[in-house]
Structures are given as C-alpha cells and as structure tokens.
C-alpha cells in the first residue's frame, strides 16, 4: 500500500467540533463564505458545510498530502463548488473573500493532524522509526535532522527549554553532541531512544521524548514567530461582525493568541473572557484534545 493510501485510512477527530460550530453560529453574520486555514483531514470544514447549507469554504493546508486527501474524499463538495482547496501556508498572503466585505469566519486549528503524527515516514513519531523529518510542508528546506546534527549546544538547550518547556535538557543535549560525533542522526528512533536512555520514563503513558519532539517540530515548521502577524492579517480580512476561531495545543501558542486578540482593539474584540476547553468526555474519547484551547475574536 502506498503512503497516501495508508494515510487515507487514518482518521483525524476534529477537536471541539461542537464548540467550533457554536462559535460560528453565534456570530452576528450568517456564514456564507468561510476560510479554513488548516484543512487537515477536513473534519471541521465538513461539519461546518453540513451545518450551514448556504456556506462555501475555501480551505488551505501547507501539507500537499492533506490537499490530495481532500480532493479524493470531498469530491461532492468540490463538484458543487462549496469547497475550494489550496496548498499554501496561512502565513503567506491569504485568499480574498468572494465578497468585498470579507470572510464571515476564519478557522485556524493549529499544530499537526493525527495522520501526520502517526505516519512514521513523516518523522513526527517517537514510537515508530522513520526519517528525522517533521516538515509539514514537504517542500520545506530544513528537516529536524539538520537542527539535531548541526545546531550548537547552547542553541539546542534554549530550543528545548523555550519550546519544549523542559527545565533541564542539558544531559540529553550533551549525549546528542557525543552521539553525532560518531554518526549523524537520520532516524526518529535514534533520537527517541537516546532521550529515553537519558531521561527514563517519569510519567506513565508520556514518552520522555514528547516535549523534545514538540520543540523540534515547532522550530522546523516555524510555528510561533509569524503567528501574531498572521492573526492580524486574518482580522483585517474578516467581514464586519465576522469571527476568527482559533484552536491551540501549546501554552506559548495560546498566549500569543490571547494577547493578539486583546491588543487589536482597532479590529474588534475577543468574544469570551475565558478560554474554552474541551469537556472531560471529549478528552476521554480523544486524548489528543486534552491540551486544546479555543478562542474567538469578533471583528467590529
């Protein structure tokens, strides 16, 4: 079975699906034109298209595999011209809404999808061996192996501290430096097993490499630095009363969203004072929802 077929079999369960629909539904605008900036496996787009029969969605994803999946699995929506798919990053100039007013809503569901995480060939998995890659956009220039093999000791330490929120990554970094003198890292398991040897298992069910891999993934895909300005670009192209709906999975991401929403009064205001989190039932059903947080912004 080729990679794309293997991946097609894997599901991504859309996180806080009902809350996302509710967030769009409660806006002052009837949603006619929506922009889904992180299509993934299309779970949120599909739910929104089913809920609002008049709605048309333009969906982006920087991963060509997600777009290819959409072309195969959402053909009826594509034929009915209710869904348009574009392979691009939401950090690049965004598509204009079909109406001069702007988009009725924009959805951002940050991070990686389950098929990306679970496919060893993409290099995100610390359980299954694969190339130490971690690029969401497979045309991206820099893989995780480059960082592990060529960054200086202090750069690695601060990466793991800042993005991985690991207090003492020193021993792991020293072992990386020693091991790469013998042989450069190419495989995910070479790194995951080194971390496992050095750190040991402290929390049941939580692989010791989790935060190290997260930090590398965020650096490879430049997930944080351009986030604020991209959110501001999105606010600008919303229609009056339109909503920006953002799901995050990392405290640093959420902090950026929280302050960007508060500080852009010229465009509008956050809808809720407090962040929305998934129900306990959802977390049991879908453990990947556990760290998710939802924030909504309404354009003036």
Ligand X SMILES: C[S@@+](CC[C@H](N)C(=O)[O-])C[C@H]1O[C@@H](n2cnc3c(N)ncnc32)[C@H](O)[C@@H]1O
Residues that bind ligand X (CB under 6 A): 12, 14, 37-38, 40-44, 60-63, 66, 89-91, 109, 111-113, 136
Judge whether 20 and 245 are in contact, CB under 8 Å.
yes
The CA distance from 214 to 248, in Å, is 14
**Sheet strands (E) in 158-237:** none
Sequence-ordered list of residues with C-beta below 8 angstroms from that of 288, at least 6 positions apart, any chain = 13, 15, 114
Instruction: Please state, in angstroms and rounded to a whole number, the distance separating the CA atoms of residues 144 and 134.
Output: 6
Whichever of 19 and 109 has its CB closer to ligand X, that residue is 109
Q: Which is nearer to ligand X, 137 or 174 (CB)?
A: 137
Our CB check for ligand X shows the closer of 199 and 253 to be: 253
Residue with the shortest CB distance to ligand X: 40
DSSP 120: G
Q: At closest approach, how far in Å is the CB of 34 from ligand X? A: 12
Q: Which tokens is 171 given?
A: 């021993």
Whose tokens are 């039932």? That residue is: 281
Q: Which residues of 231-242 are buried (b: 16+ CB within 10 A; e: fewer)?
A: bebbbebbbebb
CA 200, chain centre distance (Å): 28
State in angstroms the smallest separation of the CB of 163 from ligand X.
Answer: 15
49 vs 156, beta carbon nearer ligand X? 49
Nearest distance, CB of residue 288 and ligand X, angstroms: 9
The least distance separating ligand X from the CB of residue 249, rounded to whole angstroms, comes to: 8
244 DSSP assignment: E
Give CA separation, 10 vs 41, 99, 282, in Å.
9, 36, 19
Q: Name the nearest CA neighbour of 125 among 41, 199, 187, 203.
A: 187
> Under a CB-based contact definition with an 8 Å cutoff, are residues 244 and 108 in contact?
yes
C-beta separation of 105 from 37 below 8 A: no
C-alpha closest to that of 7 among 45, 53, 41: 41
CB 157 within 8 A of CB 169: yes
Q: Least Å distance between CB 165 and ligand X?
A: 20
CB of 24 to ligand X, least distance (A): 13
Taking the least distance from each CB to ligand X, the nearer of 66 and 294 is 66
Residue with smaller CB distance to ligand X, 157 or 230: 230
For the bound state, the minimum distance from the C-beta of residue 20 to ligand X, rounded and expressed in Å, comes to: 8
**Which CB sits closer to ligand X, 38 or 286?**
38
Shortest Cβ distance from residue 63 to ligand X (Å)?
4
């Amino acid at each position: 079975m080729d990679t794309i077929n293997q991946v097609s079999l894997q599901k991504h369960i859309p996180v806080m699906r009902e809350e996302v629909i509710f967030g769009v539904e409660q806006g002052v605008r009837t949603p006619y034109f929506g922009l889904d900036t992180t299509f993934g496996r299309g779970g949120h787009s599909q739910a929104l298209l089913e809920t609002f029969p008049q709605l048309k969605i333009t969906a982006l994803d920087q991963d060509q595999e997600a777009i290819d999946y959409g072309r195969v699995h959402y053909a009826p929506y594509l034929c009915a011209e209710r869904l348009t798919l574009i392979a691009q990053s939401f950090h690049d100039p965004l598509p204009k809404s079909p109406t001069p007013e702007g988009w009725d809503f924009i959805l951002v569901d940050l991070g990686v999808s389950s098929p990306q995480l679970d496919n060893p060939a993409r290099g995100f998995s610390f359980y299954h061996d694969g190339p130490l890659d971690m690029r969401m956009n497979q045309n991206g220039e820099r893989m995780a192996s480059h960082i592990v093999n060529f960054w200086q000791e202090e750069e690695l330490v601060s990466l793991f501290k800042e993005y991985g929120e690991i207090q003492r990554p020193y021993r792991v970094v020293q072992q990386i430096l020693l091991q790469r003198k013998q042989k450069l890292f190419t495989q995910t398991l070479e790194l995951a097993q080194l971390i496992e040897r050095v750190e040991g298992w402290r929390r049941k069910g939580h692989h010791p490499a989790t935060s190290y891999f997260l930090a590398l993934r965020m650096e490879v895909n430049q997930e944080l630095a351009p986030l604020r300005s991209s959110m501001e670009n999105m606010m600008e192209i919303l229609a009056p009363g339109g909503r920006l709906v953002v799901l995050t999975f990392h405290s640093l991401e959420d902090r950026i969203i929280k302050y960007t929403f508060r500080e852009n009064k010229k465009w509008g205001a956050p809808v809720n004072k407090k962040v929305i989190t998934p129900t306990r039932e959802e977390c049991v059903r879908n453990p990947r929802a556990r760290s998710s947080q939802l924030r909504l912004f309404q354009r003036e």
